[in-house]
Amino acid sequence: MPPKEFEVLVADAFALVPEKFRAKVKNVALLVEEEPNDETRKENNLGPEDTLLGLYRGTPRSERGEGYGVGPTMPDTITVYRLPVLEKAAHESGVGELVAWGEMMTEPMKRRVRNIVRDTIWHEIAHYFGMDEYEIAAREEEGTNEYKKTP
């Protein structure tokens, strides 16, 4: 999947976030990168075989005080990593790495990529709202992810 097409999927996934949450996401830049760089891998304690689909960087909304945003404030970021998402979709679809790196994708594979991007955006927005990995995992297990209920 070409980078521009992937960027559209990321923007579309953010647009699917329920309005009651999306309206509260302030001062956040949505980024797409090919894959985590060495510094990001080190910061997140990733081993050689580990991967990262997305990453939230910033001050979670739950930790912002009254003075947050007074004066110039750099935006938080949510980064979605294209190559790991494509690789995960290819492996979950049973088509292997050849399709993940190529330009031609079947419609079922594109749907899988869209679902992974959607889930990744939701996961990183949960971090923005102050949830840690354990809280997010618990919500996902409970099935209380409203985002997944959207079409």
In a 13 Å sphere around the CA of 108, the CA atoms on its Cβ side amount to 6
Q: What pLDDT is stored for residue 138 in this prediction?
A: 84
**Domains in the chain, CATH or no CATH each:** 3-146 (3.30.2010.20)
Per-residue pLDDT tens for 1-24? 889 999 999 999 999 999 999 999
Q: What are 29-64's pLDDT values in tens digits? A: 999 999 999 999 999 999 988 989 999 999 898 888
State the Cα–Cα distance between residues 29 and 55, nearest whole angstrom.
12
Handedness of CA 42, 43, 48, 53 (dihedral sign): negative
- Please answer whether residues 35 and 84 qualify as being in contact, where contact means their C-beta atoms are separated by less than 8 angstroms: yes
SS (H, E, C) 43-62: HCCCCCCCCCCEEEECCCHH
Rounded to the nearest 5°, which phi and psi values hold at 29? -95, 135
Whether residue 145 has pLDDT greater than 60: no
Q: Which two tokens stand for residue 17?
A: 């976030």
Give tens-digit pLDDT for 90-138. Answer: 888 766 655 545 556 778 888 899 999 999 999 999 999 998 888 888 8
